């Protein structure tokens, strides 16, 4: 409760009319004696999708090999502490409370956005909690994001890029998004580019053409394919025959392969084939094609009904869901339980799954303000040619589906905030 009070205060420090800028966080970091300059072996991760899965894959490989990691992610799912991971554990409430109070006092009520001040707090703590690897996820974009305050890193990672966060953009084109995410990646380092649409990859290459960093591009410098119950990975260092990773969806093979490419091609670390084999079967990525196999929510469905959770919230992520759903048993009905934030591309996302789902139940997102109301979301679904209705809660939606179906796939998606609420309920 004490932490929530602090976070509420921090949310009030930034007038909405102020434009995006790095000036505020740079001013605060200077007042904190520039802790960003004390962080070594930094990996910065940008992109639209799969950043979290890439980060947990990296962390699992590094920690299996015996290296300590500090990790910063955004947003969190179940509680705010998940954004702050230091040397093998998430920050505890008392430690987080003291850290936020310290940074709040140094800021001294000056204008600063919520994301900027909590990023500065992570940077300060990471500078004190020395780890052998520091992994940082960029926010919505990168050029003016609070994670773009470092002068050096050991690599930048570009995960799949698509249309999203249109409320932060002037034009909302893919060219603008690629520019915001890639044009200011650090020089004199390494850049790893994961799987992209061909048209997007061309735009990325154009944006980083004059960047002096060494480039590693999936499909050109490292490769993967799915074999007979195995992942076959290859780069200039050789071929690896690996077990399939502990992640649902074939699109995650590209994510894991990018993590492998990074750990094999950073000379600072000694990562063996044995480390990789052991780590990738232990990767855990919540709300990314996550099967809910136990917990409170299972009480509301029949034992043969399957609940899958995924935080997809943009058209590119919904396309990945579509590909995954096509691999499932065609005799099983797929029901979508859907809730989304108001700024997302609702119709484009829903239309992607028109041929895959039997019907949709739309919900509001609990404990959030800026969500699209369930009635409007359901109306959009019907305009896409999908049967849709609303319910008052996730429990009621599960009961409704299970009452009429004994062997269904219940797919809950549309927002990471929504997934976090489901996980907390469970």
Dist. CA 330–CA 353, nearest whole Å = 14
Give φ, ψ of 328 to 5 degrees: -85, 165
Residues ≥6 apart with Cβ < 8 Å to 8: none
Dist. CA 29–CA 22, nearest whole Å = 11
Residues ≥6 apart with Cβ < 8 Å to 40: 134
Cβ(271)–Cβ(65) below 8 Å: yes
Q: Which long-range contacts (CB under 8 A, 24 or more apart) does 235-244 make?
A: 235/261, 235/264, 235/265, 237/264, 237/265, 240/273, 240/276, 242/276, 242/277, 242/280, 243/277, 243/280, 243/281, 244/281
| Residues forming beta bridges with residue 192, ordered by sequence position | 157, 216
Six token digits for residue 306:
């399957």
pLDDT the model gives residue 21: 85
- Flag residues of the chain having pLDDT under 70: 1, 16-19, 164-170
pLDDT the model gives residue 38: 97
Q: What is the pTM of this model?
A: 0.93
| Residues forming beta bridges with residue 43, ordered by sequence position | 135, 155
pLDDT the model gives residue 406: 87
pLDDT the model gives residue 168: 63
Residues ≥6 apart with Cβ < 8 Å to 19: none
Beta-sheet strands, E only, within 273-356: 290-291, 306-309, 334-338
Dist. CA 418–CA 337, nearest whole Å = 10
pLDDT the model gives residue 169: 66
pLDDT the model gives residue 237: 96
For residue 340, give the nearest of 372, 293, 300 by alpha carbon. Answer: 372
Angle at 246 between CA 242 and CA 248, to 5 degrees: 115
pLDDT the model gives residue 149: 97
pLDDT the model gives residue 319: 93
Dist. CA 326–CA 333, nearest whole Å = 12
Dist. CA 293–CA 161, nearest whole Å = 31
pLDDT the model gives residue 164: 63
Tell me whether strands 306-309 and 409-413 are parallel, antiparallel or unpaired: parallel
Domains of the chain: 2-280 (3.40.1190.10), 290-425 (3.90.190.20)
DSSP-H helix ranges across 11-72: 23-31, 51-64
CA distances from 355 to 103, 377, 386, 387, 405 (A): 50, 18, 9, 12, 19
pLDDT the model gives residue 76: 86
Cβ(112)–Cβ(25) below 8 Å: yes
Cβ(206)–Cβ(181) below 8 Å: no
pLDDT the model gives residue 82: 95
């Amino acid at each position: 409760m004490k932490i929530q009070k602090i976070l509420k205060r921090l949310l009030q420090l930034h007038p909405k009319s102020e434009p995006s800028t790095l000036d505020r966080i740079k001013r605060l970091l200077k007042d904190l004696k520039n802790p960003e300059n004390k962080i070594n072996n930094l990996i910065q991760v940008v992109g639209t999708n799969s950043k979290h899965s890439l980060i947990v894959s990296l962390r699992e490989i590094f920690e299996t090999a015996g290296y300590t990691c500090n990790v910063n992610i955004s947003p969190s799912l179940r509680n705010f502490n998940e954004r702050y991971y230091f040397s093998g554990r998430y920050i505890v409430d008392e430690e987080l409370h003291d850290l936020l109070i310290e940074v709040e006092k140094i800021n001294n009520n000056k204008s600063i956005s919520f994301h900027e001040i909590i990023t500065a707090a992570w940077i300060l703590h990471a500078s004190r909690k020395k780890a052998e690897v520091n992994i940082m996820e960029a926010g919505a974009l990168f050029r003016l994001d609070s994670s773009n305050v470092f002068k050096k890193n050991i690599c930048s990672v570009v995960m799949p890029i698509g249309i999203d966060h249109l409320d932060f953009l002037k034009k909302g084109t893919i060219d603008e998004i690629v520019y915001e995410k890639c044009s200011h990646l650090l020089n004199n380092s390494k850049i790893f580019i994961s799987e992209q649409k061909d048209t997007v990859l061309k735009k990325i290459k154009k944006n980083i053409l004059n960047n002096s960093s060494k480039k590693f591009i999936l499909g050109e410098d490292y490769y993967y394919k799915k074999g007979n119950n195995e992942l076959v990975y290859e780069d200039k260092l050789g071929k690896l025959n690996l077990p399939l990773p502990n992640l649902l969806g074939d699109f995650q093979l590209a994510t894991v392969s990018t993590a492998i490419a990074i750990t094999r091609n950073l000379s600072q670390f000694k990562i063996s084939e044995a480390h990789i084999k052991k780590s990738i079967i232990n990767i855990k990525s919540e709300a990314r094609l996550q099967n809910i196999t136990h917990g409170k929510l299972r009480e509301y469905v029949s034992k043969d009904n399957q609940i899958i959770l995924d935080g997809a919230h943009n058209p590119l992520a919904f396309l990945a869901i579509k590909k995954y759903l096509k691999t499932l048993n065609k005799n099983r009905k797929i029901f979508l339980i859907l809730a989304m934030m108001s700024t997302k591309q609702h119709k484009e996302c829903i239309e992607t799954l028109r041929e895959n789902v039997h019907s949709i139940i739309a919900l509001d997102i609990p404990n959030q303000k800026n969500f699209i109301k369930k009635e409007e979301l359901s109306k959009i679904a019907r305009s896409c040619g999908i049967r849709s209705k609303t319910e008052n809660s996730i429990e009621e939606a599960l009961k409704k589906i299970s009452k009429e179906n004994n062997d269904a796939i219940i797919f809950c998606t549309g927002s990471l905030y929504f997934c976090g609420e489901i996980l907390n309920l469970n």
